[in-house]
Amino acid sequence: MADEVVLLDVWASMFGMRVRIALAEKGVEYEYKEENLRNKSDLLLQMNPVHKKIPVLIHNGKPICESAIIVQYIDEVWKDKAPILPSDPYERAQARFWVDYIDKKVYDTWRKMWLSEGEEHEAGKKELISIFKLLEETLGDKSFYGGDTFGFLDLGLIPFYTWFYTFETFGNFKMETECPKLMDWVKRCMQKETVSKTLPDEKKVYEHVLGMLKAIRESNH
């Protein structure tokens, strides 16, 4: 029996992009279903009743939720091709630690900066930059976080690149100035077709975020 793979996702989600890159790395064919988070489908509510969030991978009818968990699942099921997690237990733990760090820090800090003004905005901006500086320091002189090859942490972080233009525009800073080595890493990742063909254009993400902002402001009036 062929695998039936369905992905419930939103195109601009960095968490969804992780899953799309993982599926591309493994060469898995799947049906993509775009969700509207302001009017969630019955299928999404049924497949992720706990968090009601995308992405959800549905594999032969069974749902897997939370992007970092989905990527590990994909790596374990389609294990014969393009390993994503390192084979060494210590390196696996480190990769998991940093993906968890990204999940705990980046999106919340961005929202704090985005939706505030004055001192709070400046504090959020400073924190967001310090997060990327720490991630740059963690890369060190390696080509990828996975060493010579693109791995779990590379895959967990690269989707945020599509939001850099948005972060920079709302925060009035330049990633190229703040984190030049991290930007070199971005270029190396983007040389991979599985990455460059999956990630949307950063200007399109920015337009999407402007639309979200408009909707938030309208709902506040």
**Rounded to an integer, what distance in angstroms lies between the CA atom of residue 42 and that of residue 153?**
32
Given the structure tokens 């909707």, which residue do they identify? 215
Token pair of 110, please? 């961005």
> Please, which residue, 71 or 179, has the CB nearer to a second copy?
71
Helix axes 118-139, 89-114, angle to 10 degrees: 160
115 near a second copy, rule: CB under 8 A: no
Choose one: 92-100, 141-149, 172-180, 181-189; the region binding a second copy (CB under 8 A). Answer: 92-100
- Yes or no: say if 205 and 163 are a contact pair by the CB < 8 Å rule: yes
Angle CA 65–66–72, to nearest 5: 90
Given the structure tokens 């690149």, which residue do they identify? 161
> Please, which residue, 102 or 179, has the CB nearer to a second copy?
102
- Which of residues 37, 45, 93, 215 is near a second copy by CB under 8 A? 93
108 near a second copy, rule: CB under 8 A: no
92 near a second copy, rule: CB under 8 A: yes
Choose one: 27-35, 89-97, 141-149, 170-178; the region binding a second copy (CB under 8 A). Answer: 89-97
- What does DSSP assign to residue 121? H
32 near a second copy, rule: CB under 8 A: no
With CA atoms as reference, report the closest residue to 49 among 39, 41, 61, 38. Answer: 41
Q: Could you give the string, one character per residue 55-74, with x where binding to a second copy holds by CB under 8 A and - elsewhere?
A: ----x--x-xxx--xx-xx-
90 near a second copy, rule: CB under 8 A: yes
> Please, which residue, 66 or 202, has the CB nearer to a second copy?
66
Tell me the DSSP string of 159-191: GGGGGHHHHHHHHT--HHHH-HHHHHHHHHHHT
76 near a second copy, rule: CB under 8 A: yes
With CA atoms as reference, report the closest residue to 109 among 81, 145, 88, 135. Answer: 135
Least distance CB 128 / a second copy (angstroms): 16
- Which of residues 33, 40, 96, 121 is near a second copy by CB under 8 A? 96
Helix axes 202-219, 164-171, angle to 10 degrees: 60
210 near a second copy, rule: CB under 8 A: no
Residues near a second copy, by CB under 8 A = 50, 59, 62, 64-66, 69-70, 72-73, 76-77, 89-90, 92-93, 96-97, 100-101, 134
